[in-house]
Amino acid sequence: MSSLSRPPRLIWLAALLLQVLPNVRAQDTAAGPLPTPLPSLLGQSGLLGPDWRVVGLPARQRQVPLTVFEPGQVDGHEGIRVVTDASYGTLVHSLPGSVLPVRRLAWRWRLDQPLVGGTAAPDILSRNGDDAALKVCAFFDHPMDQVPFLERQLLRMARSVSGEDLPTATVCYVWDSTYQAPVQAANPYTRRVRFITLQGRSAPLSRWITESRDLGRDFLTLFGEEHSSDAPLPRITRIVIGADSDNTGSKSLGWVADLRWQPAEGR
């Protein structure tokens, strides 16, 4: 099947997530404190934390290997080792009730091997090259009536087909292998996913880097034209770690550790 005829990746991912993870419906979004800290990525006996699940593409779409997420140590620091090999996968935490984006999301990550050795060059701005060695994303419960008409109709069709309340807005932070950071753009498959590259082609390899992002501010940066200035920020429903190399057939190796909430500046 050609890339032009494939459904948007957001639909693939969200449809599967909502089948295997607890749903977050509108009636479940009562205000409450943010969970602090986020559940640990690391569990006992060398396993993933029990509040995180590995999710791939629906089997009915394509036979694509899963990206590997496994606990490990590098340079004396514990984290999740993320390995792609012509693969696709996400590590997902569904928040226990949607929460307001009133804090910063912080984490540490490192890239030991950028996307290399594939049949196509990685290019996060094109469909054929849309792969990322590392990414951290947040799903937002963005009001449907704020979504542009055509995208709203497509999303409604997808919701009707899947029978699930698919997410309307996703913000991703990407470690890119091609462009110099920062780049801000929409995913080439769907504008319901928008991203900021925090690290790029010249970023140092095999070195831990700490990130801290104001989720609300970045939502407004990427989706601000859809948000009414007098409306509250949409709530966050899921935090996702991902890596994929299925479009380019390449390989990569990275690490993610210590996801946590921090107070947002000036709030």
Residue spans of the domains in the chain: they are 3-22+53-225+254-263
Instruction: State the pLDDT confidence band at 159, using cuts at 50, 70 and 90.
Output: low
Question: Going by C-beta distance under 8 Å and a sequence separation of 6 or more, which residues neighbour residue 114?
Answer: 133, 177, 205, 252
CA distances from 214 to 129, 138, 221 (A): 28, 11, 11
Residue 18, φ and ψ in degrees, nearest 5:
-75, -10
Tell me: the pLDDT tens digits for 167-223?
678 899 999 999 999 999 998 887 888 999 999 999 999 999 999 999 999 999 999
Phi, psi at 40, each rounded to 5°: -65, 140
Alpha helices in 107-175 (DSSP H): 149-162
Residue 54 has pLDDT above 70, yes or no: yes
Q: Exposed (0-12), middle (13-18) or buried (19+): which is 94, by Cβ within 10 Å?
A: buried
Task: Give the number of C-alpha atoms closer than 13 A to the C-alpha of residue 197, restricted to the C-beta side.
Answer: 24
**Tokens matching residue 187:** 């995913």
Each residue's pLDDT tens digit, 142-157? 766 666 666 666 767 7
pLDDT at 107: 97
pTM recorded for the entire structure:
0.83
pLDDT over threshold 80, residue 35: no
More confident residue, 74 or 36: 74
Backbone angles phi, psi at 245, to 5 degrees: -145, 25
